[in-house]
Structure formats: C-alpha cells, structure tokens
Amino acid sequence: MLDITALADLLSQPKKIVITTHHKPDGDALGSSLGLYNYLIQRGHHARVITPTDYPQYFEWMPGNEDVIIYTDHVEQSNELVAAADIIFCLDFNTLSRINELGEEVGKSDAYKIMIDHHLEPQDFDDYRYWNINACATAQLVYDFIAIELNDKALVNKDVATCLYTGIMTDSGSFRLPNTTSAVHRTVADLIDAGAVNWRIHELVYNSATENRLRFLGHCLANKLEVLQEFNTAIITVTSEELKQYDINTGDTEGIVNYALSISGIRLAAFIVQRKDKVKLSLRSKGEFPANEICKKYFNGGGHRNAAGGASDDSLENVIAQFKSILPNYKTLLIQ
C-alpha cells in the first residue's frame, strides 16, 4: 500500500500513466478520467485515458477526448500502454470485472494502481485508495485529490474544471440527487471560477439529442411503460428490434428510466433492454430502497442504492418475468 506522501513523491517526476474507467463510460467516468488527464499532462506526465468500450457521442466535445483510446478498437496498443505503465488510475469503478478484458491486463501489470471511486464493496487490487461512497461523483473525489491531497488547486485550469464539472453534473442528476451537499455546490463554484462554463456544459450534454432519440423516448413512454401500482414500481422494456428501428446508439437510452421514476408515488423504476448479447437492466429507486441489492442478488450487477445496473443472459421475456417475481419480496419496502 502507498500513502499519500509516497504517491505525491511518485508523481513529482514524469511517469507513464494510464487512466481507465468502467464499461460504457458515463459522464462521471469520462469527466473524472479526462479531468485527471488534463491535470497530469500539465505536470509533464505521459498520460493516456483508455476506456474499455465506446461512450456516448454527446461526451466527445470534452477536452482531451481526442487522446482517449477505446480498448476494443486498439487492443494491442492499449495492452502495451498498460504493460509499460508506472501508474494506473482506476476511476469510477472498483472491481476489475467492470473494465472487461482490460481488467486482466490491469490485474497482471506491475504498475501502482490508484483507485478513486464512490461505489460500494471495492475489490482488493489497488495500492492506494481514495474512496468515499458518500461522494456524489468520482469527479468530486478527483477534485479533492488534486486540490486537497496534492495541494494543486492552481492546476485546476479550464480543461480540468470543465471535465470535472461534467462528472459532478451528470452523477448528481444535475444537482438534484440527495448526495448534492453544500460542499458539492462549493466545489462546483470553484470549478466555474476556474473556467467551467456551466450553462454551456448542460447544453452540450443534455440538449444534444437526435430526432430519433426523442421519437424513441416518445415510443417508450407511450407504448412500453408498465406501471405496477401494487408495488409502486414502473418498468420500461425494449427489444433489440426497437433499438434497431429507432437507430439507437450508445448513450441514447441514458436517463429514460428516470421518466418512469418521475411518476408520483413510484419508488422503483426499471429500464430493461435487449442488447446484442444480453439483457441489460437499469434500476433507479427513491429513498431507502436498495436497487443495488436487486442487481447484485439477481442480475450479476451492482451500483448505488438509488441507481444500479445488472445484466442477464436469459431472454427479455424471462428477465421481465424474473424482475416482476422479485417484487413481492420487497413489498413492504416498496409500499411503505
């Protein structure tokens, strides 16, 4: 294990650094990775961000995006970078299975592994851990790591601030979720002072839908929403044919589950979609309801209490039936 002094010491000389984050990166995964990247390059490090898979097109404007390597498109180059790295930062995930095949390479690398994360139950593969499940976003932790732990607030420039703002904005549900504390707002104020143009970032991320995506959303709400009043649960289910019909790409389904949760009285919402090779579930809940427990117990997944995900190799029909069959076990929590 490293302590912060040893890590700060390591970072005092230029190092070969890989930054990686979870499968299908979201705004926090990418924002925290590119925020850290834009900081490390100012200090003269040779840093690269490697994502296990592609990510939504509406994050491609982020500073440093042009230098991101997508593992599945550049396996050999990525493996070489990982093998040669002195330090690997693992951001917004805490089990190597969350980065797919890249996890094996990271696991066998001799590099120091630095975990910065806010998910439950971290796996023990790291040499230094900056971990807090109460943090609203990994980007908040990256900010604290740079500004407080490494005392480098002066290096939070416009690029760093823009990326970290994006991470905090997306993971806090645009500053709406319960983990949006006053401290988060203070960090966000610092990021705006450092050059993040808040309104522009909202515009780039949230007002960038294609016509297809909006029509798909309309289809989901009009035709695919099922409200299970008895369990205060709402589900939206989508077949792979529907994804094809509306030309739905990575990221286009993001946030649809929140519409189901927005119905008054609903405590649990699920978006269940048939992808190419498996059925993916996205769960959202209100209050104490443990969405992550359902994902972990039944769908080989996990996440946070109010936002979790999982997957199944079974058919869409069976997964929907299985999900419904689980609800009676949680009836007291759902109807209280």
Where on the chain is the footprint of ligand 5GP (CB under 6 A)? 119, 282, 301-304, 307-311
State the nearest-atom distance from the C-beta of 41 to ligand 5GP, in Å: 27
Cβ atoms 47, 35 nearer than 8 A: no
Least distance in angstroms from the C-beta of 6 to Mn ion:
26
Interface with Mn ion: number of residues (CB under 5 A): 4
Order of all β-strands in the sheet with 307-312 = 225-228, 233-238, 268-274, 279-285, 307-312, 302-303
Q: Match 């498109």 to its residue by tokens.
A: 73
H-helix or E-strand spanning residue 69 = strand 69-70
Find the shortest distance in angstroms from Cβ 86 to ligand 5GP. Answer: 27
Q: Tokens 């499968």 belong to which residue?
A: 23
The answer to whether residue 117 forms part of the interface with Mn ion (CB under 5 A) is no
The DSSP output letter for 289 is -
List, in order, residues 6 or more apart from 139 with CB less than 8 Å away. Answer: 28, 31, 32, 35, 163, 164, 165, 166, 167, 168, 171
Residue with nearest beta carbon to ligand 5GP: 309
Q: Which is nearer to ligand 5GP, 47 or 279 (CB)?
A: 279
DSSP designation for 239? -
Q: Which of 19, 62, 92, 142 binds Mn ion (CB under 5 A)?
A: 92
Give 184's contacts (C-beta < 8 A, 6+ positions apart): 136, 140, 168, 172, 175
d(CA 157, CA 142): 14
Residue number, 33 or 138, with CB nearest to Mn ion: 138
Tell me which of ligand 5GP, Mn ion, none is bound by residue 308, counting a contact when its beta carbon lies within the kind-specific cut-off of 5 to 8 angstroms: ligand 5GP
Shortest CB 142 distance to ligand 5GP, Å: 16
Query: Measured from the CB of residue 180, what is the shortest distance to ligand 5GP in angstroms?
Result: 16
Query: Is the CB of 26 or the CB of 86 nearer to Mn ion?
Result: 26
Sites for Mn ion among residues 119-178 (CB under 5 A): 138, 171
Number of H helices, E strands in the chain: 14, 12
The answer to whether 301 touches 295, Cβ cutoff 8 Å, is: yes
User: 4 or 175, CB closer to ligand 5GP?
Assistant: 175
CB closer to ligand 5GP, 119 vs 267: 119
Q: How far is CA 181 from CA 97, 142, 184, 237, 335, in A?
A: 31, 17, 5, 33, 28
Nearer to ligand 5GP, 64 or 303 (CB): 303
Both structure tokens of 73: 């498109």
Give min distance, CB of 283 to ligand 5GP, in A: 7
What's the min distance (Å) between Cβ of 29 and Mn ion? 6
Query: What's the length of the chain?
Result: 336
Compute the least distance from the CB of residue 261 to ligand 5GP, in Å.
Answer: 12
Q: Give the one entry of Mn ion, ligand 5GP, none that residue 309 binds, where binding means its C-beta sits below a cut-off of 5 to 8 angstroms depending on kind.
A: ligand 5GP
Nearby residues of 110 by Cβ (< 8 Å), 6 or more positions away: none
Residue 44-83 contact track with Mn ion, rule CB under 5 A, x = bound: ----------------------------------------
Nearer to Mn ion, 55 or 216 (CB): 55
Which C-beta is closer to ligand 5GP: that of 92 or that of 105? 92
Residues that bind Mn ion (CB under 5 A): 28, 92, 138, 171
